[in-house]
Structure 1
Amino acid sequence: MPNPRGTPENLEPGKRKGDEPLTEQVNLRVTKTMKEELSTKDDPPEFCRQAIQEKLDKDRKK
């Protein structure tokens, strides 16, 4: 019978492509249309992180 808790690899946090660890959370409200479009992306959380980072970089240059 398989282990119901999964393999030890499943218990480790996911690996991020960037340098800093993902330790903080941000909650935000979006429209239903935005949520539906966002859910069509391959990796919605990474898409949101990149969009936020692009805007932060743009604002920093001003």
Structure 2
Amino acid sequence: ISSGETPILLVVRKEGGLFSKDETQMVNLRTQGDRTIVDGLFDKAYLVIGVGSSQEKVTITRG
């Protein structure tokens, strides 16, 4: 992560269908050393940094 950029975590609350997007909610993150901590459990989430065409998104799944 470059200086000044902090990723956001979007937890999927309801998966979208063929013609709809996932319903997501932004949740708080905190760092402890080299680890990122989220309070709570989730099955699927997106870690997003940047905007527009320079946006990067990583999908996180449990299981």
Interval of TM-score (by shorter of Structure 1 and Structure 2): under 0.3
- Which of the pair has the greater relative contact order for Cα pairs under 8 Å at 6+ separation? 2
Rg bigger for which structure?
1
Instruction: Compare the two structures and name the one with the higher strand fraction.
Output: 2
TM-score, L = length of structure 1: 0.24
Q: TM-score, normalised by structure 2?
A: 0.24
